[in-house]
Amino acid sequence: MNVRGEIDEAVKEDYHCKVIRILIDSLSSVFSPENEATLLATVVILRMSEQFCEIDKDVRHHLDGASSLFTLRGTTRKWSVYDTDLAGTSFWIYLRESLRLCFLKEEKCQFDLALIAGESLFLPASEEVWTNRITLILALACNCGFGKTARSERDLQSTRLKGLIELWASSVPDAFRPWSFRDGKFGPFPAIRFLSTWHEVAWQHYYTAKVILAVDALHMQENTNILRLNRYTESQIFEPSRKLCGICLATREIGSEINGSHLVSWCGQFFTGKEEQRRLLDWLETTMLESRWPNRTCSERLQQIWKGSRLQWVDTPCI
């Protein structure tokens, strides 16, 4: 309501202060699993409200400061993709909220991913668990692609993650497959539709993870010829980016649009086709008008990169 200008600023501030007092009381009260779960759920809801600000206005109080609540829980018992109770669901929402900043700022995930239990095999599980699995893989891909580790170590991490990505894709239940795939529905982008929001979010993360690792591995193409380089960028960067856009443009779920906006923006910076660029900008603008989701930063960066006035995603625009 505040985003839409339907609530007085003083009323909004009053409610915000009340919520903070409740949070402080919760932190000071006797610990119980029920209190913990409620507190974590409250944190992710408050963080979502903060995200309706553009990156330069985002104070991140309920991301930076509140991360200690999730860290504390992870040090006593590691988080798991199988955690689907209130506390677990809150954690995975929190992690997905964290990924937005990873892409807007091109930085590692702020949460210590070592506090999440890993898996060697993807055993049958619920749809939520399958989505949590690829969310974790995307977070690891962010750490690999945006990290500052030695190149040799990053290459080893990238190889392992590529294997996990394809293992995930080959192991998901048949229900995760799209029920409709229409090439050219949105010009250069296909229309890809799924049965569930879980599926949409999962495949958004799948294609983005592929792109981030492919971009990070571009250095391995330095000594190749132009033809092979073009084939690499087409198959490993452009094709998954177009499918990612196809999922976002085809969805009717606001949650999928919000989850995908920063992903398509970061991947879309590599588009060279005018129609691809136009369609993506139109979608970001429409989504922003309909939901008030803050896509202005992404739209401006994309236009600056495509025009050549910005060298990189997080660079200061050239004068």
In tens, the pLDDT along 183-193 reads 988 899 999 99
Tell me what pLDDT residue 55 has: 81
Indicate if the pLDDT at residue 2 is higher than 60.
no
Rounded Cα distance, 282 and 217, in Å = 30
Q: Provide the 10 A C-beta neighbour count for residue 117.
A: 14
Tell me what pLDDT residue 298 has: 96
- By CB atoms closer than 10 A (0-12, 13-18, 19+), residue 235 is exposed
Sign of CA dihedral 166, 135, 207, 102: negative
Higher local confidence (pLDDT), 38 or 230:
230
Tell me what pLDDT residue 11 has: 74
Least confident of 84-93, 112-121, 293-302: 112-121
Under the banding of pLDDT at 50, 70 and 90, the label for residue 27 is low
Give the tens place of pLDDT for each residue, 233-263: 999 999 999 999 999 999 999 999 999 999 9
Listed in order, strand segments (DSSP E) in 82-220 are 180-186, 189-193
Rounded Cα distance, 46 and 248, in Å = 25
Tell me what pLDDT residue 52 has: 77
Q: Which of 77, 84, 40, 83 is nearest to 62 (CA)?
A: 40
Tell me what pLDDT residue 64 has: 67
Indicate if the pLDDT at residue 1 is higher than 90.
no
Least confident of 11-15, 124-128, 261-265: 11-15
Q: Are 104 and 297 in contact (CB under 8 A)?
A: yes
List the beta bridge partners of residue 180: 193
Sign of CA dihedral 147, 151, 155, 157: negative
Tell me what pLDDT residue 222 has: 76
